[in-house]
């Protein structure tokens, strides 16, 4: 695509919480820190932001607040996907109205869909949007894989311009790149595959790691784009132990623990998610100490 929504690293940002509410004071400070560290975009109320357990009112307010706090400094991408297409349409329309720059729309989960159902659902959502749509393929969480041929068909829609690819299947991502070249931007949805996806023509990453290390995540992308592929690769490999620790339990459990240790939020999640197990937490904190993130 000649005009990607962003190029580099976007943080799939956590939603700081209190016991029964959103901690907007902490959230605002976290957004400001991310921007000061040079992040290229912010994704609000996605998987890492616990969008699936936010109330409808909270979900909308988190998106509105993010747009207002970011204030056009970088693109804001709103997580508006749902297994209910009608709800996704309503949330997408709302996000357009409050000024989000793009939508991240996950494939339907639990009820899933056929490939034809995916085309009809995503098309209906895109028809309702006046902002670009990033499809989100994460079959390990949804049980529903957006196949490359399906993505290629959807790429014909003028509002469907990108894919966050978190299938983990590099062969599938290569086929996606081949079928959609020039029509759909690709973003890595896995922090351990940033460089491989960039090598296939990807525009960057929608990242969990960048919650904790935004500048380093941006640098992985910037080095690659500058032609320093070896340097980019080395940065990713150096951070691989920390990346693995951030996924040692289901996301966003570890990254919430990490951000709490850094003082950016309380370690509070919505059920059915629970705080990190002690053994995994100690490994994560040791790796964070090694990176100088905590004392």
Rounded distance, CA 53 to CA 56, Å? Answer: 9
End-to-end CA distance of the chain: 43
3-state DSSP assignment of residue 18: coil
Is 183 annotated in the active site?
Answer: no
> Given the structure tokens 């907007």, which residue do they identify?
24
Rounded distance, CA 260 to CA 267, Å? Answer: 5
| Paired tokens of 78 | 């709103």
Q: Which of 24, 87, 120, 136 is catalytic?
A: 136
Q: Which of 27, 164, 187, 256 is catalytic?
A: 164
C-alpha dist (Å) from residue 29 to 40, 203, 233, 253? 17, 27, 31, 20
CB count in 10 Å sphere of residue 90: 16
Is 283 annotated in the active site?
Answer: no
Catalytic residue ranges:
136, 164
């Amino acid at each position: 695509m000649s005009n990607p929504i962003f190029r580099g690293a976007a943080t799939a940002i956590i939603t700081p919480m209190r016991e029964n509410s959103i901690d907007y004071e902490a959230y605002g400070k976290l957004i400001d820190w991310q921007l000061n560290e040079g992040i290229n975009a912010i994704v609000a109320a996605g998987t890492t932001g616990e969008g699936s357990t936010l109330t409808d009112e909270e979900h909308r307010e988190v998106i509105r607040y993010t747009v207002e706090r970011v204030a056009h400094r970088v693109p804001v991408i709103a997580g508006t996907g749902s297994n209910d297409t009608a709800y996704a349409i309503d949330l997408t329309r709302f996000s357009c109205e409050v000024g989000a720059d793009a939508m991240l729309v996950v494939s339907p989960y639990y009820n899933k869909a056929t490939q034809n159902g995916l085309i009809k659902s995503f098309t209906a959502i895109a028809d309702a949007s006046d902002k670009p749509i990033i499809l989100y393929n994460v079959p390990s969480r949804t049980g529903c894989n957006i196949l490359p041929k399906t993505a290629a068909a959807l790429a014909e829609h003028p509002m469907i311009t990108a894919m966050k690819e978190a299938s983990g299947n590099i062969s599938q991502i290569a086929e996606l790149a081949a079928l959609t070249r020039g029509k759909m931007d690709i973003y890595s949805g896995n922090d351990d595959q940033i460089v491989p996806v960039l090598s296939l023509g990807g525009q960057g990453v929608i990242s969990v790691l960048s919650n904790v290390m935004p500048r380093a995540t941006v640098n992985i992308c910037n080095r690659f784009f500058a032609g320093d592929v070896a340097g980019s690769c080395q940065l990713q490999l150096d951070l691989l132990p920390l990346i693995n620790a951030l996924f040692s339990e289901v996301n966003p459990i570890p990254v919430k623990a990490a951000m709490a240790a850094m003082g950016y939020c309380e370690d509070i999640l919505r059920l059915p998610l629970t705080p990190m197990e002690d053994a995994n937490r100690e490994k994560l904190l040791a790796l964070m100490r090694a990176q100088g993130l905590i004392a």
